[in-house]
Structure formats: C-alpha cells, structure tokens
Amino acid sequence: MKKTDPHAWMWSDALEMLSRAERMHRQMFQPGHAPAQSASRQRMPCWEPPVDVLETERELLVFAALPGVDAEHIHVAIHNGALSITGERSLPAELRTATIHRMELPQGRFERQVALPPGRYEVSRPSIVNGTLAIVLRKLV
C-alpha cells in the first residue's frame, strides 16, 4: 500500500492506538514494593491502585480504584503530608480452585502513597462505592 492511501495510514494509526491502549491497561495496576516494616525485613511486593485527587473549598476528595476489595481489608491514614492507602485483595475461597482463563486484576497486597497539598487534614468518611474507595479529607483550620 502507498503511504498516500488514507486507508493504510488510518489502519496503521488505529493499530498503534490499540497497542498504546493495551500498554496503558497493563500499566494501570503497576506492581511496586511496600516499605519494609523494620530494617531487618525485606520490602514486600505490592501493587498500586490508580487514584484521583480533587479539592473543594472545605475538603480533599480521593478516589482509588479497588474493585473487589472488601472495605474491611483497607487501611487509610495520613503520615508526613501523604495519604496512605493499604490493604489486600484476594480471591474468595470458593474461587481458589477455579480454572483461571484470564486474570488482569491484581491480587495480593496493595499500597498507595498520595502526596497531599499543603495543609492539615482529617480522614472524615472513607467508603466504597461501585468498586471505588472514596475518601473525604476534611480541611482543618
């Protein structure tokens, strides 16, 4: 095909966009390492959920994509100007013997540190809505 053929370059662009979308999808849940609990312990492997941070006049709103994670397995805290979101996603016991044909959602320990804008905050209302952890951080005056 000639480079001037619009079908050829459109097809090439479409394939490149699909390839880029697949790379982005694989990178969404980037594996990382959690900090060691003590100097003698090695860092534990973990994955990082993607987050959104929005600010209103009175609050910071943080949303973390955690589909399939039980709210009881999530810990939220503020340390040194950063929001820490940690927990674990594991397969339900009844699915542990299932044949896996495709598994793209990461399993195991997760941790995400989110730098907060300057100020003082209090964790007000963490909740899970439609697979998204929604954290409201109230601004303290």
Query: Would 109 be classed as within a structural domain?
Result: yes
pLDDT of residue 102: 87
Query: Would 1 be classed as within a structural domain?
Result: no
Query: Would 34 be classed as within a structural domain?
Result: yes
Across 18-35, b (16+ Cβ under 10 Å) vs e yields eeeeeeeeeeebeeeebe
Query: Would 40 be classed as within a structural domain?
Result: yes
Residue 98 clears pLDDT 70, i.e. is over it? yes
What's the number of domains the chain is made of? 1
For residue 85, what is the domain's CATH number?
2.60.40.790
Query: Would 60 be classed as within a structural domain?
Result: yes
Domain extent for 116: 6-140
State pLDDT tens for residues 37-89: 444 445 567 899 999 999 999 999 999 999 989 888 899 999 999 999 999 99
Query: Would 51 be classed as within a structural domain?
Result: yes
Is the pTM here over 0.85, yes or no? no
pLDDT of residue 12: 78
pLDDT of residue 111: 95
pLDDT of residue 40: 43
Could you give the CA distance from residue 139 to residue 85 in angstroms, rounded to a whole number? 18
Q: Residue 103 — very low, low, confident or very high, per pLDDT cuts 50/70/90?
A: confident
Query: Would 29 be classed as within a structural domain?
Result: yes
Q: Residue 105 — very low, low, confident or very high, per pLDDT cuts 50/70/90?
A: confident
State pLDDT tens for residues 4-37: 666 667 777 887 887 777 666 555 555 555 554 4
pLDDT of residue 35: 52
